[in-house]
Structure 1
Amino acid sequence: MTRLVGLLALALVLTGCSTDPLADQYRAGSNKGFIAGDGSVTEIAAADRGAAVAWSGVDETGAAVSNTDYAGKVLVVNFWYASCAPCRVEAPALQKLNAEFSGRGAEWLGVNVRDQAANAIAFNQSYGITYPSIMDVDGGAMQLAFSGSIPPNAVPTTLVLDKSGRVAARILGALSTPSILETIVRDAIAEVPAA
Structure 2
Amino acid sequence: MKNRQSPAGDLGRRSFLRLGAGLALSVPFAAAVAGCSTDDPLAEQANAGDNKNYIAGDGSVTEYAPGDRGDAVQFSATLFDGTEVNSADWAGDVVVLNFWYAACAPCRKEAPDLVELHNTFEPEGARFYGVNIRDEAATAEAFERNFNIPYPSFMDKDGGVLLAMTSYVPPQAVPTTLVLDRQGRVAARILGLAEKGTLKALISDALAA
TM-score by length of 1: 0.83
Q: Give the CA deviation at 1:187.
A: 0.5
Give the 3 Å change call, closer, same or farther, for CA 116–23 of structure 1 in structure 2.
Answer: closer
Q: Give the CA deviation at 1:141.
A: 1.1
1:34–1:84 contact (8 Å) kept in structure 2? yes
The residue aligned with 1:157 is 176
For 1:118 and 1:24, locate their aligned partners in 2 and report how far apart those are by CA, in whole Å. Answer: 30
Say which SS state the counterpart of residue 102 (structure 1) adopts.
helix
**Further displaced range: 27-36 or 89-98:** 27-36
The answer to whether 1:94 aligns with 2:114 is yes
For 1:136 and 1:93, locate their aligned partners in 2 and report how far apart those are by CA, in whole Å. Answer: 22
Give the 3 Å change call, closer, same or farther, for CA 26–118 of structure 1 in structure 2.
Answer: closer
Q: Give the CA deviation at 1:26.
A: 3.8
User: What do the CA deviations read for 1:141-191 (whole angstroms, capped 9, x no partner)?
Assistant: 10011112421001100000000110111000011x201000010100111
The residue aligned with 1:61 is 81
For 2:138 and 2:104, locate their aligned partners in 1 and report how far apart those are by CA, in whole Å. Answer: 16
Unpaired stretches in structure 2, ≥5 consecutive residues: 1-37
For 2:169 and 2:79, locate their aligned partners in 1 and report how far apart those are by CA, in whole Å. Answer: 23
The residue aligned with 2:93 is 73
% identity of equivalent residues: 54
State the AA in 2 paired with 1:79.
F
**Further displaced range: 42-51 or 147-156:** 147-156
Say which SS state the counterpart of residue 160 (structure 1) adopts.
strand
Structure number with higher helix proportion? 1
Q: Give the CA deviation at 1:25.
A: 2.3
The residue aligned with 1:52 is 72
Q: Give the CA deviation at 1:24.
A: 4.7
The answer to whether 1:144 aligns with 2:163 is yes
The answer to whether 1:109 aligns with 2:129 is yes
1:41–1:170 contact (8 Å) kept in structure 2? yes
User: What do the CA deviations read for 1:36-71 (whole angstroms, capped 9, x no partner)?
Assistant: 001100100000100001111111111111212322
For 2:55 and 2:143, locate their aligned partners in 1 and report how far apart those are by CA, in whole Å. Answer: 21
Say which SS state the counterpart of residue 103 (structure 1) adopts.
helix
Larger Rg: 1
Give the 3 Å change call, closer, same or farther, for CA 36–119 of structure 1 in structure 2.
Answer: same
Q: Give the CA deviation at 1:22.
A: 2.2
2:54–2:105 contact (8 Å) kept in structure 1? no
Q: Give 2:198's match in structure 1, choosing from 180, 189, 193.
A: 180
Say which SS state the counterpart of residue 193 (structure 2) adopts.
coil
Unpaired stretches in structure 1, ≥5 consecutive residues: 1-17
1:60–1:118 contact (8 Å) kept in structure 2? no
Q: Give 2:55's match in structure 1, choosing from 30, 35, 41.
A: 35
For 2:130 and 2:181, locate their aligned partners in 1 and report how far apart those are by CA, in whole Å. Answer: 16
2:73–2:168 contact (8 Å) kept in structure 1? no
Give aligned pairs, total.
Answer: 172
Give the 3 Å change call, closer, same or farther, for CA 69–149 of structure 1 in structure 2.
Answer: closer
For 1:105 and 1:58, locate their aligned partners in 2 and report how far apart those are by CA, in whole Å. Answer: 22
State the AA in 2 paired with 1:51.
D
